[in-house]
Amino acid sequence: MMRAVTIRDGQIHIDEHPDPEPGAGQVLVRVHAAGLNGADIHQLGGRYPAPPGSPQDIPGLELAGKVAARGAGAMRFEEGARVMGIVGGGGQAELAVVHERQLMPVPDALDGVSAGGVPEVFTTAHDALFTQAGLEPGERLLVHGGAGGVGTAAIQLAWAAGARVYATVRNADLRERVTDLGAEVLGPEEFADHGPFNVILELVGAPNLAANVSVLATGGRITVIGIGAGAKGELNLGALMAVRGRVQGSMLRARPLEEKAMTARAMERSVLPLFAGGKIHVPIAATFELDDAAEAYERFTSGGKLGKIVLEIAS
Structural domain boundaries enclosing 291: 2-118+283-312
CB 285 within 8 A of CB 36: no
Residue 104 and residue 48 share a domain: yes
Which of these ranges, 89-93, 110-114, 160-164, 251-255, has the smallest mean pLDDT? 251-255
pLDDT of residue 228: 84
C-alpha to C-alpha distance for 254 and 98, rounded to whole angstroms: 15
CB 287 within 8 A of CB 263: no
Mean pLDDT of 292-313: 94
C-alpha to C-alpha distance for 214 and 210, rounded to whole angstroms: 6
pLDDT of residue 47: 87
Residue 168 and residue 65 share a domain: no
Residue 197 and residue 140 share a domain: yes
Tens-digit pLDDT profile for residues 121-142: 999 999 999 999 999 999 999 9
pLDDT of residue 158: 98
Residue 131 and residue 208 share a domain: yes
Output the domain CATH number for residue 52. 3.90.180.10
Tens-digit pLDDT profile for residues 150-208: 999 999 999 999 999 999 999 999 999 999 999 999 999 999 999 999 999 999 999 99
315 pLDDT band (50/70/90 cuts)? low
Tens-digit pLDDT profile for residues 218-232: 999 999 999 888 899
304 pLDDT band (50/70/90 cuts)? confident
The H or E element containing residue 167 is: strand 164-168
Residue 192 and residue 308 share a domain: no
Residue 90 and residue 131 share a domain: no
The domain boundary, picked from 226, 249, 272, lies at 249
Q: How many domains does the chain have?
A: 2
Query: Going edge to edge, which strands form the sheet with 140-144?
Result: 183-186, 164-168, 140-144, 197-202, 216-224, 246-249
